[in-house]
């Protein structure tokens, strides 16, 4: 068996093991990336951002996080909150914005999540 064949096996196993690891990881973390968990929750959400004393508009928020200010997602709210947290701790860390996400999962009562610098 040549080196390319060995490499092929290693890469294929890595692809499968990576997903298996993600399935295990998902048991300990609210996000559901790479773990075959599609359409397992429906999240209705609305995002409000105050930056430099001004409430951001729909297009500001779309530009900032690359998703709409409100809508629904076929996944847990953790994905929306994860993207917002990543933006606010990296690209937007000097803006000192405050973010409020109102969301409801599977039609249950609304919850509020806040991010403050």
Partner 1 sequence: MAVSALIHRFWSSSWNPLRNNLSGLPPHVVVVSKAFAIFLIIKSLFFWSTLRFREPYLPFLAIFDEIGHPVIIQKILQVGLYGSALGILFNRHVKTFSLVAGSSILLSILSAKGSYSNNFLFTSFILLLVGLQMPGQNKSSWIRYQFAVLYIGAALNKLMEPDWQTGLFMDYWMNKLPIPIFQKLAALFPPMVFAKAMCWLTIAAETTLAALALSNRLTSLFIFLGIAFHFALSFFTGRTYGWFFPMLVVSYVAIMPWPTNPIKVLYDGDSPFHEKMKSLMKKFDVDNYFRWTAFQSAENRHGLTTEQLKDKLHVVVDGKILAGFKAFRTMILYNPLSYLFFIVLIASMSPGAALSTPTRILLGSLLLFISPIFIPVGEAAFSFLAKRRYKLASTSV
Per-residue x/- mask for partner 1, residues 94 to 113, rule CB under 8 A? -----------xxxx-----
Which residue's CB is nearer to partner 1, number 53 or number 102? 102
Candidates 21, 23, 25, 24; CA nearest to 13 is 21
Q: Stretches 36-44, 46-54, 94-102, 109-117: which one binds partner 1 (CB under 8 A)?
A: 36-44
- Out of 69, 77, 81, 87, name the contact with partner 1 by CB under 8 A: 87
22 burial level (CB within 10 Å; 0-12, 13-18, 19+): middle
Contacting residue, 28, 39, 52, 94, with partner 1 by CB under 8 A: 39
Q: Is the dihedral of CA 16, 20, 25, 31 positive or negative?
A: positive
């Amino acid at each position: 068996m040549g080196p390319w064949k060995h490499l092929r096996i290693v890469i294929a196993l890595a692809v499968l093991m990576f997903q298996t690891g993600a399935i295990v990881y998902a048991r300990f973390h609210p996000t559901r990336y790479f773990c075959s968990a599609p359409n397992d929750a429906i999240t209705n959400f609305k995002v409000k951002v105050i930056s430099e004393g001004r409430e951001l508009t729909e297009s500001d928020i779309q530009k900032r996080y690359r998703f709409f200010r409100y809508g629904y997602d076929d996944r847990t709210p953790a994905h929306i909150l994860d993207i917002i947290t990543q933006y606010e701790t990296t690209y937007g860390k000097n803006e000192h914005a405050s973010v409020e996400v109102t969301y409801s999962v599977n039609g249950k009562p609304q919850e509020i999540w806040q991010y403050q610098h």
